[in-house]
Amino acid sequence: MPADMLTLGEIIDRLGGDLQGDPRELVARVATLEKAGKGDVTFLSNPRYVTQLGATKASAVVIGREIPVPDGVAAIRTDNPYLYFARLSALLNPVERLDESLHSSAVIHPDAVLAEGVTAGAHVVVDADARIGRGSVLHHNTVVGRGVVIGANCVLHPGVVVYPHCVIADRVTLHAGAVVGADGFGIAWDADHWEKVPQVGRVLIGDDVEIGANTTIDRGAIEDTVIEKGVKLDNLIQIAHNVHIGEHTAIAACVGVAGSTRIGRRCRIGGASGISGHLTIADDVEVSAHTLITKSITNGGTYTGAYPFERNRDWRKNAATLRNLADLAQRVRQLEALLMKKDA
Amino acid sequence: MPADMLTLGEIIDRLGGDLQGDPRELVARVATLEKAGKGDVTFLSNPRYVTQLGATKASAVVIGREIPVPDGVAAIRTDNPYLYFARLSALLNPVERLDESLHSSAVIHPDAVLAEGVTAGAHVVVDADARIGRGSVLHHNTVVGRGVVIGANCVLHPGVVVYPHCVIADRVTLHAGAVVGADGFGIAWDADHWEKVPQVGRVLIGDDVEIGANTTIDRGAIEDTVIEKGVKLDNLIQIAHNVHIGEHTAIAACVGVAGSTRIGRRCRIGGASGISGHLTIADDVEVSAHTLITKSITNGGTYTGAYPFERNRDWRKNAATLRNLADLAQRVRQLEALLMKKDA
Amino acid sequence: MPADMLTLGEIIDRLGGDLQGDPRELVARVATLEKAGKGDVTFLSNPRYVTQLGATKASAVVIGREIPVPDGVAAIRTDNPYLYFARLSALLNPVERLDESLHSSAVIHPDAVLAEGVTAGAHVVVDADARIGRGSVLHHNTVVGRGVVIGANCVLHPGVVVYPHCVIADRVTLHAGAVVGADGFGIAWDADHWEKVPQVGRVLIGDDVEIGANTTIDRGAIEDTVIEKGVKLDNLIQIAHNVHIGEHTAIAACVGVAGSTRIGRRCRIGGASGISGHLTIADDVEVSAHTLITKSITNGGTYTGAYPFERNRDWRKNAATLRNLADLAQRVRQLEALLMKKDA
């Protein structure tokens, strides 16, 4: 993996923070506390790893204001070591670019409009009336449908498909296999079979959104599905038609959000959780992993509904009792009544 | 999005229903009650939105027989407004077609047989001995394996992969990234490692099936995996080897169906639910979201097994108690015995 | 489906086992007990299907040592009929190969190194500095990123994407739509928005691994994500950054494994289960379907946490009671205290 080399002084000049150590020290790579060696820079963000700090062989560590570092390890002091480390890693690991600007095997429709500096890899397809903004990169085998609008400095990784007429803003990243704008699941029952409900809305994706591999975001049935700016979606997520996700919400992998649900801003949705359709979720809601949200949530906070795992033999007994839980509660009420009567 | 324009009279002529209003009124687009304006037609199907009806600015509304509509809004009266609306939306939003019939970059094996009117987009691959029926559309970058049979008027969206020897009937739609016929998960343990069990069955898909984006349907181990006619599958669904899904069953996103299970007709399977292997599910079964079905079901009806979500602090207490639920039930039995003895 | 034809004698010569019947009998196809006819070989592994044995019309059955077979059916006796059958099916169903070694539409970078006998289908892309080992097959529309290393005799099915610098050993199979090496979900909060944490690790995949359709395996944030030899992953699985999966572990479909978790050897993880981040799971752990593992597991055995499904009306009552379970337990404690006092 290519990496640039920087002195600690150059890093401080670019990213701020306070240096405790020799500004001429060179670092080339990021590394974990445990594996770091000479020329590596690491970080300590989670206090539970502080015991690993003493043994690190890193040249430098990005770390909070108060924690002492071992002799021979330079410290870059900052209030948010994880964020600082993210930026430092970006400096040391610049994004690789494709070789050619438009590969000869790319099929760009004559009525598509590509801004200057667009890169298209092998076997890319851009259909009629699509518009791609300055500096965007379409990796190999991506397909951009008719009338799609993609802003500046976006990255579509290999095999991404954007259906017709969807709109993607600036600095959006779509990982391999992501599908934007497939038909929502709209079907109407007619006596003895389903008929399809045309899905004529679009998907609108805001600035700085990142979408994981093989995630699917369906187009709206009538109006649009909306992913606001700064939203981060992990892999294998399903966003159904007419969902609206507020700014800076982050959703972990394997989540499903059903149709027409509106999720607030800065929510954090745990892996493999689900949100039923036609709900409204407030800002700043955290949903735990494997939790199904079946009602609207009006206040921020953490909501959970995962079954606690156990040894199978214990689960068998408890789960069997759970099937009679309402009965059990009724029997407790009877016992209480009986004792109350006796007391009286 | 292109749309045709129709008078209300033309709509009634084509789709039936009773018009209350001016048959010369023109409509061009479908819209929601809330957003509709002049030239838009909307619908009211769910009674809970009846309060929005008074404020709508739509030119016309598709609606049930009895509900009054505001002045200045034409009504198309029908017994099933949602179904009528689906058909009306299809009239106003005809499906867009690819420009060319066989793109020059498509790789069609000389031993493949394409009927008249087949459309193949850029970078499509059709392997030897495949047969594609009249009017079917293979969008960009789809791959049709050796010996695959695809019927008439099917649509394969970009990036679909159909493995060798699978059979797809007429009017089937496969959304982007769907994979039909990958190997089932068949492995046999040999002392210290797994050996692969060859998967030599096929996938058979009936008429009018629709399959969502990135959904996977595995080929059978020995016999075939079967999806009967009229089945509707949403996105990111896993159908394992030798599953059999009955006619007109609809399955929401993120569901997994394990191997050799047989699902009846007209079932409705909720999002992110699962059905274990080797089960038989009756016709007309509804499974709620996030529910795991672990035993065969012999009667129609609704089955549920989702953990109810709560504030995390409440969940912590209740979930901890759940781990001792069998004990709790035992203590209640002891209390009952004790009181019975006292009474005696 | 093409199939070779073998005598029972030839089969015994190649695979071992004891023949009870005529070694000159020819078989051409594998089949189920129920559907098998003349020329078919079937197997009986699960005792619950022994009742089907009497009616089978197979020419031969692969079966355990003790179970009697009907007249006219040859028996191949072995200690592990399922494993034997897997090998026999592989003999009768040799893998189909692509027609050409390097299709003219494949885009192979001049700085990529392909060993002899590599097959690349239509529209394949192999980027700079990638190395592909002897006998590996890249099916149509696969994308192999810059600097990727792929060993010998691997199979990448259509549409597979391998991101730059990942390393895949020998005899690895990747099914259609699988994505190896997309960025892990690393984001750092900065006051009012997320910043991306560069994902500079790789994915390392060992010998004989098989990965299902549309499964995603993210690259590491700093160090590598590791899938050890012999691991078998089903479809639509998410493996997050820096996960480490031990040898010969098998994971069923729709599972999510969160970041930095370490799973032991020979584990079996049921469908749609999940494992939280930063955990350690011992060797030989079995996780049941739909179970969320939230704590490290130090001993082998089976662990379960699925909500038992019921008729919806029963679930409603029990689930409502579950929301007050801690209260119920408290009331039982009060009853116990009250009775103890009375007894005293």
How far apart are the CA of A24 and the nearest CA of chain B, in angstroms? 49
Torsion of CA C59, C63, C68, C71, to 10 degrees: 0
Chain C (251-280) residues lying within 8 Å, Cβ to Cβ, of chain A: 254, 256, 258, 272, 274, 276
What is the per-residue pLDDT for C2?
Answer: 45
From the candidates B140, B157, B165, B241, which is the catalytic residue? B241
Q: How far apart are CA A181 and CA A144, in angstroms?
A: 11
Contact A157 C159 (CB under 8 A): no
- State the residue for tokens 């957003």: B35
Give the dihedral sign, CA C155/C161/C164/C168: negative
Task: Provide block-wise average pLDDT over 10 residues at a time, chain C (344 residues).
Answer: 79 97 96 94 89 92 92 94 96 80 96 96 97 97 98 98 98 98 97 97 98 98 97 98 98 98 98 98 98 98 98 97 96 91 71
Angle between helices A325-343 and A312-322 (to 10 degrees): 60
- Tokens representing B203 are 């996938």
Task: Evaluate whether B121 touches B102 at the Cβ level (below 8 Å).
Answer: no
Helix, strand, or coil (residue A241): coil
Q: Quick one: CA dihedral B95, B98, B100, B102, positive or negative?
A: negative
Among C241, C339, A324, CA closest to B337: C339
Contact C189 A83 (CB under 8 A): yes
CA C218 to chain centre: 17
- CB-nearest partner of A235 from C238, C308, C321: C238
Q: Does B250 touch chain A (CB under 8 A)?
A: yes
DSSP structure class, residue C79: S
**Which residues of chain B does C175 touch, with a Cβ-Cβ cutoff of 8 Å?**
179, 182-183
Tens digit of each residue's pLDDT, chain A (344 residues):
445 799 999 999 999 999 999 999 999 999 999 999 999 999 998 888 888 898 999 999 999 998 999 888 999 999 999 999 999 999 999 887 776 699 999 999 999 999 999 999 999 999 999 999 999 999 999 999 999 999 999 999 999 999 999 999 999 999 999 999 999 999 999 999 999 999 999 999 999 999 999 999 999 999 999 999 999 999 999 999 999 999 999 999 999 999 999 999 999 999 999 999 999 999 999 999 999 999 999 999 999 999 999 999 999 999 999 999 999 999 999 999 988 877 66
Mutate to test the interface with C, among B107, B179, B313 (most CBs of C within 10 A): B179
Does B32 touch chain C if contact means CB atoms closer than 8 Å? no
A323 and C301 in contact by Cβ < 8 A? no
Amino acid at C148: V
Helix (H, G, I), strand (E, B) or coil at C12: helix
Please judge whether B304 and C306 are an interchain contact, meaning their C-beta atoms are less than 8 angstroms apart: no
B189 touches chain C (CB under 8 A): yes
pLDDT score, position A229: 98
Alpha carbon of C73: minimum distance to chain B alpha carbons (Å): 19
pLDDT of residue C46: 85
Query: What is the pLDDT at residue A1?
Result: 42
CATH of domain B160-303: 2.160.10.10
Q: Are B289 and B273 in contact (CB under 8 A)?
A: yes
Is C329 in the A-facing interface, judged by CB distances under 8 Å?
Answer: no
Q: What is the pLDDT, as a whole number, of residue B96?
A: 76
Among residues A155, A99, A92, A149, the alpha carbon closest in space to that of A126 is found at A149
Record: contact B193-C208, CB cut-off 8 A: yes
C278 catalytic? Reply is: no
Helices (H) and strands (E) counted in chain B, each on its own, are 4, 39
Model pLDDT for residues C181-216, shown as the tens digit of each residue:
999 999 999 999 999 999 999 999 999 999 999 999
Closest CB to A321 among B175, B307, B329: B329
Question: How much is the average pLDDT of B49-61?
Answer: 91
For residue C313, the chain A residues in CB contact (below 8 A) are none
Longest dimension (CA), chain C: 93
Helices marked H in C74-222 — which ranges? 81-92
Paired sense of beta strands B310-311 and A301-304, if any: antiparallel
Interface of B with A in 36-95 (CB under 8 A): 80, 82-83, 85-87, 89-90, 93
Phi-psi category of residue C130: left, alpha or beta, with phi > 0 → left and psi -120 to 50 → alpha: beta
Contact assignment for A328 to B323 by CB distance below 8 Å: no
Segment B105-122 mean pLDDT: 96
Contact list in C for residue B223 (CB cut-off 8 A) is 31-32, 35
Is pLDDT at B99 greater than 80 in this prediction?
Answer: no
**For B149-177, what is each residue's pLDDT tens digit?**
999 999 999 999 999 999 999 999 999 99
Task: Confirm or reject contact between A228 and chain C (CB < 8 A).
Answer: no
In chain A, % helix, strand, coil (3-state, to 5) comes to 15, 30, 55
CB contact under 8 A, B323 and A332: no
Is the pLDDT reported for residue B2 higher than 70?
Answer: no
Instruction: Select the CATH number that applies to the domain covering C163-303 from these four: 2.160.10.10, 1.25.40.10, 2.30.30.30, 3.90.1150.10.
Output: 2.160.10.10
Q: Which of C190, C216, C314 sits opposite A235 (nearest CB)?
A: C216
CATH superfamily label, A6-92 = MurE/MurF, N-terminal domain (3.40.1390.10)
pLDDT of residue B50: 87
What pLDDT is attached to residue C258?
98
Convert B77-87 to b/e letters by CB count within 10 Å (16 or more is b). Answer: bbebbbbbbbb
Q: Which chains touch C (3+ CB pairs under 8 A)?
A: A, B
The partner residue sitting opposite C290, judged by closest CB among B195, B292, B318, is: B292
Distance from CA of A17 to the nearest CA of B (A): 37
Q: What is the pLDDT of residue C311?
A: 98
Identified catalytic residue from A139, A140, A241, A244 = A241
C19 vs C22: CA distance, rounded Å: 8
Q: Which residues of A touch C105 (CB under 8 A)?
A: 105
Question: What residues of chain C lie within 8 A of the CB of B330, using their CB?
Answer: none
Facing residue for B96 by CB, picked from A146, A187, A320: A146
Q: Which residue has the higher pLDDT, B256 or B95?
A: B256
Residue of chain A nearest C338, judged by CA positions = A339
Q: What pLDDT, on the 0 to 100 scale, is given for residue C133?
A: 97
